[in-house]
Amino acid sequence: MATDEETDDEEKDEEKVLYEHNPAPPSERIWMDVYQDEDKKLAKHDWCLDTGIIKNLSGEEAKPKGFYILVLNKMKYMLETRLGRKSGAPKFPEAQIKLILNDLDKVDGFYDKWWRTESSQLEVFIRVVQKRRHDLSQKFIIDSVTRTLSG
């Protein structure tokens, strides 16, 4: 029977393997738009020989899982401090946070820095949170992310 530590190590190894990419040789790079560039310049992009995923060169990098854990905890804190003293104020129990994190884990490549951008993560994050918590507005979720980014 595996211990909790062994299970955690296996999950970390699986995550590393899941997000490791085998870049094509430099001679096989492909020309594509650089989306963050106002001039719509082209640049050579790496792509993965195993999955065919094209590497993101926009400069906008995906956030790790720990960031979204912080955001969810910030949301919980904000709900407790702003609204927690009122009767009937919404709560954000740990069980819901775990369910949201499990939903994010199921999204294909959600934490993959190779091709996922921060803005695409944010869109998915809002959708997943609102699936579990219909009462939380998009503005509140974005505000939580912004506050987490600023510290």
User: Would you list the domain boundaries of the chain?
Assistant: 21-59, 65-150
Residue of 64 and 29 predicted with greater confidence:
64
Q: Tell me, what's the pLDDT at 130?
A: 95
- What's the mean pLDDT when you consider all of the chain? 76
Residue 13 pLDDT:
47
- How much of the chain, in percent, has pLDDT values that exceed 70? 56
CA count, 13 A, side-chain hemisphere, 93: 4
In this structure, what token pair is assigned to residue 147?
Answer: 């506050």
> Which tens digit of pLDDT belongs to each residue from 73-132?
999 988 887 665 566 667 889 999 999 999 999 998 888 877 788 888 999 999 999 999
Token pair of 84, please? 């927690």
Amino acid at 37: D
DSSP E strand boundaries for the chain: 30-33, 42-45
The distance between the two most distant Cα atoms of the chain, rounded to a whole number of Å, is 64
Mean pLDDT on 25-54? 63
Of the pLDDT bands very low, low, confident and very high (cuts 50, 70, 90), residue 62 is confident
What is residue 145's predicted lDDT score, i.e. its pLDDT? Answer: 92
- pTM for the full predicted model: 0.68
User: For 40, left (φ over 0), alpha (ψ -120 to 50), or beta?
Assistant: left
